Structure 1
Amino acid sequence: MHYETLNIDIAERLATVTLDRPDLRNAFNEQTIAELTAAFTALGQVESIGAIVLAANGTAFCAGADLNWMKKMAGYSHDENRADAMQLANMLRAIYLCPKPVVAKVQGDCYAGGMGLVAACDIAVAVEDAHFCLSEVKLGLIPATIAPYVIKAMGENAARRYFLTAERFNAREALRIGFVHEVATAAALDGQVDIIAKALMANSPNAVREAKTLVRDIAGQSVTDALVADTAQRIANIRASSEGREGVRSFLEKRKPSWLA
C-alpha cells in the first residue's frame, strides 16, 4: 500500500511506522487514521517482523486532530460524527490489538489524540523535553475514543485530573504517573528505543504475542477459580507449543533458540 502521511521502514525484523506531516505537527486527519489502521493491520500479519516502533518526523510527535479535519467535523450530523469517531476508535484498537509489540518513540510534544496513539502502544519512551496535554475540554469536547487506552496507561486518578484540567505536563510527570515507561535525552532517545526493540526481538515471537494478550486479558480481573483455570490452560498451551518446547530445549542444551539462529 502507498502511504502519503506515513513512512514505513522494515530492517532486521524491526518495522518503523513514522508519522510524516511535520509541517502540521503530525496532526492527524481521516487519511492518517486510515493509513495507520491499514499499516498496523498489515504489519501485524508479517511473520518476519518482531517489533514495531511508532515514531514521528519533526518537532512534535502528534498535535492531535488536524484543524482542517476539525472544521469539516463542525458541520457533520450526529450520525456522521459517530461514523468519523468510529474510524479513530478502530485505528487505536488496531494498534492496541496488533499481534506485534509496539514501542512509541515520543520525540516531541504529544497532545490530545496523540496521547491516544502513545497509550495504545505497549511501551513508550519520551524525550525529556516533550510535553503532554489532554486539551479536549478547552474546546468543549471530551477525550472519549482515546479514554480506554489513556486511562489504562496513566491510571484513573491521574486521568481524572488531566481530563478535567487540560493542564500541560512534562515528560517527568508522564513518567511519574506511568504514562510513559522511560524518559531519555534527545541524544539518547534512538539508542534507548533500539535497546528495547532488540530485547523484544530476542524473545520467542509466539511467547511475546501470547504475553501481550495475557496482560490485556488478565489486567483488572479478580482471582477467581475461572481465572486460575484460564492461566493454567495458557501455560499448558505454551509449554506444548513448538516454540515453547524449543525454548526449553535450547536453554537446557545451552544454545541459542531457533528464532535467534
Structure 2
Amino acid sequence: MLKVTEEKNIVIVSLDRPDVRNSFHPEMIQKITETFVGLSARKDLRSIVLSGEGSVFCAGADLNWMKDMAKYTLEQNQQDSEKLFQMFEAIWACPVPVIGVVQGAAFGGALGLMAVCDHVIVQEKTQLCFSEVKIGLVPAVISAFILRKCTAGVMLPLMLSGRVFSGQEVLGSGLVHEVASEAHMAQALGHTISFYQEAAPEALRETKNLVRNVMSSDWSDHQKETTRVIAERRVSSEGQEGLKCFFEKKNPWWKNQAGSQ
C-alpha cells in the first residue's frame, strides 16, 4: 500500500494502491503516519518525494472505508478523524522538505496531502476537487492544513461548489507551485530537488521548523474543531443521506431539489 525507495539522500514515498486509484484507508493512513515520523528523525535526508503509483495520484478516501464510517458512532468517527489529522500533521511537521508530485486526479483528502507538502508539482491535465459537500460531508480535517497555506478567498468557493478545477487555476495559491506537462514532470521534479541538494542540510530543517512553529499557534484548537465537525457530519442526516445515495448511485435530496428549480 506504500512503496518507499531511497537514492542517496532522497526518499520517494509512493502511494501504492493503483487498482483503487491510491485511495487511503485506516491501514494506509497509519502506514503513512509511521513512515513520516520515522523519516523525520533522519538528518541525512535532503528531500522526500510524495507521489502515487499509476495514472492517479490519489482519489481520497477508500470506498469501503467510507461504507464503514457511515456506520460508525460519533465517538468512533471522532477517533477515526483524529488519526487522519495525525497523518497530515506527521507530513506537515516533517523537517525534511517534502515535494508532492500529482497526476491524474486528487480528490477530497488527497488535497490535504498536497497541502502538507512544501512544494507541489501538478501535471497539467490533473483534475482537483473538494468533493465532500456533494455527499453531505465537509472538508473539515484538511481545511486546517489548506488554510495554513492558502487564503480562504481562493479556497472557499472551490470547497462550496465541489467543482473540478485545474492546477493552473490555483497556481501560486500555496496549494500548487508548478504545473508541468506529462513529458516535463520528471524534469520539473529534478529541478526542484536540485535546489534542496544545494542547500545546507541543517539549514533546510531549521528553516522549515521555524516557519512551521511560527504558523502553529493555537494548533490544538484546529485539531479539536476540525475533527469534531467531520465526526458530526458523518453521523448527521445529510451525511448519512449523502453516503447512502453515493453508494446507491442516486441523487441526494438536495441535488434533486436543485434540479427542480
Distance 1:59 1:161 in 2: 27
Offset of residue 177 of structure 1: 3.3
| Count of residue correspondences | 217
SS at match of 2:140: coil
Offset of residue 38 of structure 1: 0.7
Confirm whether residue 55 of structure 1 aligns to residue 51 of structure 2.
yes
Deviation by residue 1:3-37 (Cα, 9 ceiling, x = unmatched): xx010001020000000111101110001100100
* Equivalent pair of 2:133/2:160 in contact (CA under 8 Å): yes
Distance 1:195 1:52 in 2: 14
Confirm whether residue 133 of structure 1 aligns to residue 132 of structure 2.
no
Amino acid across the alignment from 2:169: E
Offset of residue 155 of structure 1: 1.3
Distance 2:202 2:216 in 1: 24
Confirm whether residue 152 of structure 1 aligns to residue 148 of structure 2.
yes
Of 10, 23, 46, the match for 1:27? 23
Offset of residue 53 of structure 1: 0.3
Amino acid across the alignment from 2:11: A
Residues 86/131 of structure 1: CA separation in 2 closer, same or farther (3 Å cut): same
Amino acid across the alignment from 1:9: T
- The TM-score, its normalising length taken from structure 2, stands at 0.80
Offset of residue 60 of structure 1: 1.0
Confirm whether residue 114 of structure 1 aligns to residue 106 of structure 2.
no
Of 51, 71, 75, the match for 1:75? 71
Confirm whether residue 41 of structure 1 aligns to residue 6 of structure 2.
no
Offset of residue 176 of structure 1: 4.8
Distance 1:77 1:20 in 2: 30
Distance 1:220 1:145 in 2: 15
SS at match of 1:172: coil
SS at match of 1:217: helix
Residues 72/220 of structure 1: CA separation in 2 closer, same or farther (3 Å cut): closer
Confirm whether residue 142 of structure 1 aligns to residue 129 of structure 2.
no
Which one has more relative contact order, counting CA pairs under 8 Å at least 6 apart?
2
Residue identity (%): 37
SS at match of 1:189: helix
Deviation by residue 1:101-148 (Cα, 9 ceiling, x = unmatched): 100011221110000001011110100011110010111110111111
Distance 1:199 1:176 in 2: 19
Higher CA-based Rg: 1
2:5 is matched with which residue?
Answer: 9
Between stretches 154-163 and 117-126, larger displacement belongs to: 154-163
* Equivalent pair of 2:98/2:117 in contact (CA under 8 Å): yes
* Equivalent pair of 2:149/2:175 in contact (CA under 8 Å): yes
Distance 2:77 2:187 in 1: 41
* Equivalent pair of 2:44/2:201 in contact (CA under 8 Å): no
1:243 is matched with which residue?
Answer: none
Confirm whether residue 201 of structure 1 aligns to residue 216 of structure 2.
no
* Equivalent pair of 2:148/2:215 in contact (CA under 8 Å): no
Counterparts of 1:96-115 in structure 2 under 5 Å? 96-115=92-111
Deviation above 4 Å: which 4+ runs of structure 1?
none
Residue segments in structure 2 that go unaligned for 5+ positions in a row: 218-261
2:157 is matched with which residue?
Answer: 161
Offset of residue 171 of structure 1: 1.6
1:88 is matched with which residue?
Answer: 84
- The TM-score, its normalising length taken from structure 1, stands at 0.80
Offset of residue 219 of structure 1: 4.8
Deviation by residue 1:67-91 (Cα, 9 ceiling, x = unmatched): 0000010110111000000110000
SS at match of 2:168: helix
SS at match of 1:171: coil
Residue segments in structure 1 that go unaligned for 5+ positions in a row: 222-261
